[in-house]
């Protein structure tokens, strides 16, 4: 049997399984950094189910684990697409031939802005970030935002010193935008942070964000 025929059989099997145990999803393919989930980016309805990576259906999903195996017909979908269900929003991280599809569950909506350049050449009286000099580079994007251990403790070691929380943010590739260190991240809870590390992997963006504290 030819490889493409085997792949068709695998996809059809996933479709049958998703119809039996999953729910209907709407697939979106963002073409703009500002409006990822708008009607004109919607292109498909399909049944989708998700399984934990560890043990598939033998074990429950673990706390803080945003990665799932996607069970659906992957003929028309591709990495970077969003799958919107009544129970949540996911994006496709990878979809390799003959391998399970990897999807990421989103739990927050974030937007990203970029600090502007100093207004004057040479020495400036204030070198920090001001809201008046920031420029929005994305609209609202569903993302996986997970907390990791706090760090950045003041070396003075005073009793009132607090660690600065960091987030791990997973996003699909964003059309026309390359994220950078020092970009500003805001979420739907009203929190804000600064990108401390930005890595574009074959699975999408992986950001380390230092939460801004008062």
pLDDT tens track for 30-86? 999 999 999 999 999 999 999 988 766 667 777 778 999 999 999 999 999 999 999
CA distance 170 to 173: 10
Stretch 168-174: mean pLDDT, rounded?
Answer: 97
Mean pLDDT of all residues in the chain?
86
Model confidence band, residue 166 (pLDDT cutoffs 50, 70, 90): very high
Q: Are residues 97 and 167 in the same domain?
A: no
Q: Are residues 206 and 125 in the same domain?
A: yes
Q: Are residues 10 and 50 in the same domain?
A: yes
**Domain boundary pick from 88, 105, 122:** 105
Q: Are residues 61 and 132 in the same domain?
A: no
Q: What domain range includes position 206?
A: 108-211
CA distance 173 to 121: 34
Query: Between these two residues, 1 and 192, which has the higher pLDDT value?
Result: 192
**Domain boundary pick from 83, 105, 127:** 105
Q: Are residues 94 and 40 in the same domain?
A: yes
Other CB atoms closer than 10 Å to residue 164's CB: what's the count? 15
Q: Are residues 51 and 127 in the same domain?
A: no
| CATH code at position 171 | 2.40.10
Q: Are residues 30 and 99 in the same domain?
A: yes
Place of tokens 């049958």: 16
- The predicted structure's pLDDT at residue 3: 82
CA distance 122 to 139: 33
Which of 12-16, 104-108, 114-118, 198-202 has the weakest average pLDDT? 114-118
Q: Are residues 44 and 119 in the same domain?
A: no
- Top mean pLDDT of 60-64, 113-117, 200-204 is at 200-204
Q: Are residues 53 and 131 in the same domain?
A: no
Helix spans in the chain (H): 3-21
**Domain boundary pick from 82, 105, 128:** 105
Asked if 139 and 36 touch (Cβ cutoff 8 Å), the reply is yes
Q: Are residues 92 and 117 in the same domain?
A: no
Count of domains observed in the chain:
2
- The predicted structure's pLDDT at residue 130: 53
Tokens of 190: 């009203």
Q: What is the DSSP letter of 12?
A: H
CA distance 73 to 9: 10
Q: Are residues 10 and 96 in the same domain?
A: yes
Q: Are residues 131 and 91 in the same domain?
A: no
pTM here is: 0.85
């Amino acid at each position: 049997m030819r490889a493409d025929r085997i792949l068709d059989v695998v996809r059809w099997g996933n479709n049958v399984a998703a119809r039996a145990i999953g729910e209907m999803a709407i697939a979106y393919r963002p073409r703009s950094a500002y409006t990822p989930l708008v009607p004109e980016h919607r292109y498909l309805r399909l049944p989708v189910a998700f399984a934990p990576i560890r043990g598939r259906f033998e074990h429950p999903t673990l706390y803080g684990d945003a990665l799932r195996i996607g069970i659906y017909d992957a003929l028309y979908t591709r990495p970077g697409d969003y799958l919107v269900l009544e129970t949540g929003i996911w994006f496709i991280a990878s979809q390799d031939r003959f391998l399970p599809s990897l999807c990421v569950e989103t739990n927050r909506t974030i937007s990203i802005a970029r600090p502007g350049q100093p207004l004057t050449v040479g020495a400036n009286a204030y070198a920090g970030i001001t809201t008046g000099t920031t420029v929005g580079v994305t609209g609202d994007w569903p993302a996986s935002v997970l907390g990791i251990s706090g760090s950045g403790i003041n070396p003075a070691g005073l009793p009132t010193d607090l660690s600065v929380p960091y987030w791990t943010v997973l996003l699909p590739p964003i059309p026309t935008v390359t994220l950078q260190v020092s970009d500003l991240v805001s979420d739907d809870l009203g929190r804000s942070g600064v990108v401390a590390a930005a890595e574009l992997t074959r699975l999408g963006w992986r950001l380390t964000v230092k939460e801004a504290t008062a």
